[in-house]
Amino acid sequence: MSEAITVIEDDERRCNCGQMKATLDIILKELRELKMSLRGNEPQITALLSAIYEIFAGAPFTAAWLLEESLDNPALSRHITNLMPDPTVKRLSGFLKRSTGGYGNYILSVTNKHSREGAMFRVTIK
């Protein structure tokens, strides 16, 4: 009797593993599509990084500081709203985290993921 129970449990584990693999495959596919769609915005991201570099000149900044600065800088505000229609600190910070890397002549990096003010970013020139 215990052998029958063991066989059933093993079959359930195999089934669960198959379901998990299928779910992970779907998630991986969606992540790849998200990354490709992000790269589709590369010219807009490059323009945003250029505007950020003009303001912060390689100094670290947070998404909150960036949004605050965009209130007085219409060009920066336009670059941000081109990428996201209704920017919030949380959405902008998440977008910047997902967008790290090189774009044109600029490199966006995260300098501190967990500072007191929020994630710290830096734009540098290649």
Count of Cβ atoms closer than 10 Å to residue 106 Cβ: 19
Instruction: Say whether pLDDT at 8 is over 80.
Output: no
Q: State pLDDT tens for residues 22-72.
A: 888 888 777 766 765 665 688 899 999 999 999 999 899 999 999 999 999
Looking at the chain, the whole-number percentage of residues with pLDDT higher than 70 is: 81
The two tokens of residue 21 are 């693999």
| Main-chain phi, psi angles of 120, to 5 degrees | -105, 135
> pTM of the predicted model, to two decimals?
0.67
**Do the Cβ atoms of 47 and 79 come closer than 8 Å?**
yes
DSSP notation for 58-112: T--B-HHHHHHHHHH-HHHHHHHHHH-SS--HHHHHHHHHHT-EEETTEEEEEEE
